[in-house]
C-alpha cells in the first residue's frame, strides 16, 4: 500500500464551484416523504411526463435488434438532418445539417461551445438571475463569467445597451442569452433578441443562444438566433419540450467555420453521444402531438398559478412567458428565501427553489416554482400556500 498521507490528493482550484442549493431542498423533501408526508414538488425543473411514445418504441426496437455501437462524433446523420428540418418547420429557416452537432444534453453543448470559442481568462457576459451552471462551467474552464443584472423594464433580459456598457467598462469576449429563461420564465421579443445580437456583433462579442425551452412558449412565439445569423452558437436539448431529461441528449447549431473544431473536441471528450438516445431522439420528432398536449397541460398550470398565487398572498412575480417557471418576489415575507423555502416545505409541504441559486445579489428575495407537474398539484399548491401564508403571515 502506498503512503496516502505523503501526497494527499487535493482538488484543483478551478474545480471549486458552488453546490446547487436546491439539492438541499430535495434532500429535505425526501426526508419528509420517508416520514409519510405528501410533498408537492415544484423545485426541480423537469417535466413529470415520459418521453414521446414514438421515442420509447424506437429505443425498444433498437435494443431488440442487438448491438449498440458508437456513432459518428457529430451524431447520426439522419438525426442531424431531422434536427435541421425541425428549424425549417418551426422557425422557417434553412440550416445545413452539416452545422448540427448532437450532444449529451445541452450541458455538454455548453462545454463544447465554451472550449471552442474562448481562451482561459476570456470574459463572458450572462444575465443575472440565470441558470447557475453557466457561470460554474465557465469558471471550471478558466473563463470569467460577467454577471449583468437585468430589470423588469427589459423583461429581465440582457439588452444591447447593457452589453455595450459592460464591454466598454472592460472588454467581453462572449455573451450567452436564454429565451425562455430559467429561473425567470421570461422571454425576449424578436426585437429584443435582434437588439442584443446586433450589439454583440458590432462589438465583436461571440453570441451563444440557449434555446432549451423553445417549444414551451405561451406569451408569444420564441425566435431562434438562427433566424438572424449563421454566426451564433445555438444550444438546444430534448430534455424539456420532449420530456427526455434522463436520456441526456441535445444538439448545437454551430457556425460553418466551427464545425470541425467542435467535431475534434467531441471526438476526444466523448467519442460519440449515447446511440440509444440518438435513435430515440430522432423518433421523438414524430411524437410532437403528444408533447403539444403536455405543453397545454403546462399552460393550464400556468393559469392556475398566475390567477391563484395572488389570492394566496404571492402577488409579485415576473411575466410568466415560457418554460415552466414562475419567479416570485417573496421580499414582503422574508429577506432569506432559503429559509422561506425550507419553512414552506416543512409547514405547507410544497417544495420550491430559493432564488439564491440563480442570483447571488437579489436571490434572497425570490423563490422559483416549477409548474411542469400535474394540474391537481398546481391547484393543491396554491391552496396549501394560501393557508400557510395566512397562518404565518
Ligand X SMILES: Cc1ncc(COP(=O)(O)O)c(C=O)c1O
Stretch of 168-176, 237-245, 308-316, 350-358 lying at the interface with ligand X (CB under 6 A): 237-245
- What is the separation, in whole angstroms, between the first and last Cα of the chain? 61
Exactly one of 195, 210, 217, 290 binds ligand X (CB under 6 A); which one?
Answer: 210
How far apart are CB 23 and ligand X at their closest, in Å? 13
Exactly one of 54, 150, 179, 239 binds ligand X (CB under 6 A); which one?
Answer: 239
- Per-residue binding string, ligand X, 117-136, x by CB under 6 A, is --------------x-----
Q: Closest by alpha carbon to 84, among 229, 218, 226, 194? A: 226
| Separation of CA 263 from chain center | 23
How far apart are CB 356 and ligand X at their closest, in Å? 16
Exactly one of 73, 91, 106, 159 binds ligand X (CB under 6 A); which one?
Answer: 106
Residue 211 exposure: Cα atoms within 13 Å on the Cβ side: 24
Point out the residue whose Cβ comes nearest to ligand X: 105
Is residue 204 classed exposed, middle or buried when 0-12, 13-18 and 19+ CB atoms within 10 A define those classes? exposed
- In the complex with ligand X, the residue whose CB is nearer, 107 or 379, is 107
Give the DSSP letter string of 256-304.
Answer: GGGHHHHHHHHHHHTSS--HHHHHHHHHHGGGHHHHHHHHHHHHHHHHH
- In the complex with ligand X, the residue whose CB is nearer, 106 or 337, is 106
Cβ atoms of 325 and 370 closer than 8 Å:
yes
How far apart are CB 48 and ligand X at their closest, in Å? 14
How far apart are CB 107 and ligand X at their closest, in Å? 3
Exactly one of 90, 107, 154, 331 binds ligand X (CB under 6 A); which one?
Answer: 107
How far apart are CB 357 and ligand X at their closest, in Å? 11
- In the complex with ligand X, the residue whose CB is nearer, 322 or 349, is 322
- In the complex with ligand X, the residue whose CB is nearer, 208 or 314, is 208
- In the complex with ligand X, the residue whose CB is nearer, 239 or 301, is 239
- Per-residue binding string, ligand X, 249-268, x by CB under 6 A, is -x------------------
- In the complex with ligand X, the residue whose CB is nearer, 129 or 255, is 129
Size of the site for ligand X (CB under 6 A): 13
Question: CB under 8 Å, gap of 24 or more: what pairs does 79-85 form?
Answer: 79/278, 79/279, 79/281, 79/282, 80/251, 82/282, 82/285, 83/251, 85/285
- What are the cell numbers at 67? 448491438
How far apart are CB 392 and ligand X at their closest, in Å? 30
Cβ atoms of 337 and 316 closer than 8 Å:
no
- Among residue numbers 178 through 207, which ones bind ligand X (CB under 6 A)? 178, 182
Cβ atoms of 369 and 328 closer than 8 Å:
yes
Neighbours of 100 (CB within 10 A): 26
Cβ-Cβ contacts under 8 Å for 254 (sequence gap 6 or more): 99, 101, 116, 233, 234, 262
| Separation of CA 66 from chain center | 34
How far apart are CB 106 and ligand X at their closest, in Å? 3
How far apart are CB 177 and ligand X at their closest, in Å? 11
Separation of alpha carbons 101 and 267, rounded Å:
12
The size of the chain, in residues, is 393
Task: Based on the shown chain and the rule CB under 6 A, indicate whether residue 45 belongs to the binding site for ligand X.
Answer: yes
- In the complex with ligand X, the residue whose CB is nearer, 106 or 272, is 106
- In the complex with ligand X, the residue whose CB is nearer, 107 or 229, is 107
Exactly one of 90, 245, 261, 275 binds ligand X (CB under 6 A); which one?
Answer: 245
Sequence-ordered strand ranges (E) for the chain? 40-41, 100-103, 123-128, 144-149, 174-178, 206-210, 233-237, 250-253, 325-329, 350-351, 353-354, 366-370
Q: Which residues bind ligand X (CB under 6 A)?
A: 45, 105-107, 131, 178, 182, 210, 212, 237, 239, 245, 250
Amino acid at each position: 500500500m502506498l503512503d496516502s498521507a505523503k501526497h494527499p490528493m487535493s482538488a484543483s482550484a478551478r474545480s471549486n464551484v458552488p453546490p446547487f442549493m436546491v439539492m438541499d431542498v430535495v434532500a429535505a423533501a425526501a426526508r419528509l416523504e420517508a416520514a409519510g408526508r405528501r410533498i408537492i414538488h415544484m423545485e426541480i425543473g423537469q417535466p413529470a411526463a415520459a418521453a414521446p411514445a414514438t421515442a420509447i418504441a424506437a429505443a425498444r426496437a433498437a435494443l431488440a435488434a442487438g448491438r449498440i455501437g458508437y456513432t459518428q462524433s457529430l451524431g447520426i446523420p439522419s438525426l442531424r438532418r431531422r434536427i435541421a428540418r425541425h428549424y425549417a418547420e418551426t422557425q422557417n429557416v434553412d440550416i445545413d445539417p452539416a452545422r448540427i452537432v448532437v450532444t449529451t444534453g445541452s450541458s455538454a453543448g455548453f462545454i463544447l461551445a465554451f472550449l471552442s470559442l474562448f481562451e482561459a481568462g476570456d470574459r463572458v457576459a450572462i444575465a443575472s438571475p440565470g441558470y447557475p451552471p453557466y457561470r460554474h462551467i465557465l469558471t471550471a474552464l478558466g473563463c470569467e463569467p460577467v454577471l449583468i443584472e437585468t430589470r423588469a423594464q427589459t423583461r429581465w433580459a440582457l439588452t444591447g445597451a447593457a452589453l455595450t456598457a459592460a464591454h466598454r467598462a472592460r472588454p467581453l469576449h462572449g455573451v450567452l442569452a436564454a429565451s425562455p429563461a430559467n429561473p425567470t420564465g421570461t422571454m425576449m421579443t424578436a426585437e429584443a433578441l435582434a437588439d442584443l445580437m446586433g450589439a454583440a456583433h458590432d462589438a465583436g462579442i461571440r453570441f451563444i443562444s440557449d434555446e432549451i425551452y423553445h417549444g414551451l412558449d405561451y406569451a408569444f412565439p420564441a425566435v431562434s438566433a438562427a433566424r438572424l445569423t449563421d454566426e451564433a452558437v445555438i444550444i438546444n436539448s430534448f430534455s424539456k419540450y420532449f420530456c427526455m431529461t434522463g436520456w441526456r441528449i441535445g444538439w448545437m447549431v454551430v457556425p460553418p467555420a466551427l464545425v470541425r473544431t467542435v467535431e475534434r473536441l467531441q471526438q476526444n471528450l466523448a467519442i460519440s453521444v449515447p446511440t440509444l438516445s440518438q435513435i430515440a431522439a430522432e423518433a421523438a420528432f414524430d411524437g410532437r402531438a403528444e408533447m403539444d398536449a403536455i405543453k397545454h397541460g403546462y399552460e393550464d398550470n400556468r393559469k392556475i398559478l398566475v390567477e391563484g398565487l395572488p389570492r394566496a398572498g404571492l402577488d409579485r412575480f415576473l411575466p410568466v412567458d415560457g418554460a415552466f417557471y414562475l419567479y416570485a418576489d417573496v421580499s414582503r415575507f422574508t429577506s432569506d428565501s432559503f429559509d422561506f423555502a425550507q419553512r414552506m416545505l416543512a409547514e405547507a409541504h410544497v417544495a420550491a427553489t430559493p432564488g439564491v441559486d440563480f442570483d447571488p445579489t437579489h436571490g434572497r428575495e425570490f423563490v422559483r416554482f416549477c409548474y411542469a407537474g400535474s394540474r391537481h398539484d398546481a391547484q393543491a399548491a396554491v391552496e396549501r400556500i394560501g393557508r400557510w401564508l395566512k397562518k404565518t403571515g
